[in-house]
Amino acid sequence: MGPALREGYWQPENYNDYGDKYEASFGGNSEVTEDGYASYIWDTKKFDGDNKITYEEGAEPTTKYYLMAELQEEDLPYIKENFSNLSFIYYDKSIVELNEKLKNEENVSESQQIAYIRNALRNSPVGSQSQFGFVMDNGVRKPVLIITDSSLFTEEQIKFIKDSVSEEERFPCIGVLNGNEIENSPIKIENFIEGTPIAVNPRIKIDSLSLNTSSNELLVNIEVEQETVLLKEYEDYYILIENNAYYISLKPKIYFQYGSLNPKINISYSISNADTCIYLDALKIAKENSEPKVSYEVKLNLYNPNLIHSIYNKLAQIVHINDNDLKFENV
Distances 77 to 26, 80, 261, 293, 311 between C-alpha atoms, Å: 22, 5, 11, 74, 95
User: 67, exposed or middle or buried, with CB in 10 Å at 0-12, 13-18, 19+?
Assistant: buried
Residues 27-67 have pLDDT tens digits of 887 888 999 999 999 999 999 889 999 999 888 889 999 99
- pTM assigned to the model: 0.76
272: buried, middle or exposed (CB in 10 Å: 19+, 13-18, 0-12)? buried
Going by C-beta distance under 8 Å and a sequence separation of 6 or more, which residues neighbour residue 130? 87, 88, 124, 145, 146, 147, 148, 149
Q: Are the CB atoms for 248 and 206 separated by under 8 Å?
A: yes
What pLDDT shows up at residue 100? 74
Q: What are phi and psi of 245, to 5 degrees?
A: -150, 155
* pLDDT band at residue 227 using 50, 70 and 90 as cut-offs: confident
Cα gap 313→86, rounded to integer Å: 95
Answer whether 82's CB lies under 8 Å from 176's CB.
yes
- Whole-angstrom distance, CA of residue 181 vs CA of residue 195: 33
Model pLDDT for residues 252-281, shown as the tens digit of each residue: 999 999 999 999 999 999 987 766 777 777
C-alpha separations of 98 from 116, 182, 328 in Å: 9, 21, 91
Q: What pLDDT, on a 0 to 100 scale, did the predictor assign at position 298?
A: 63
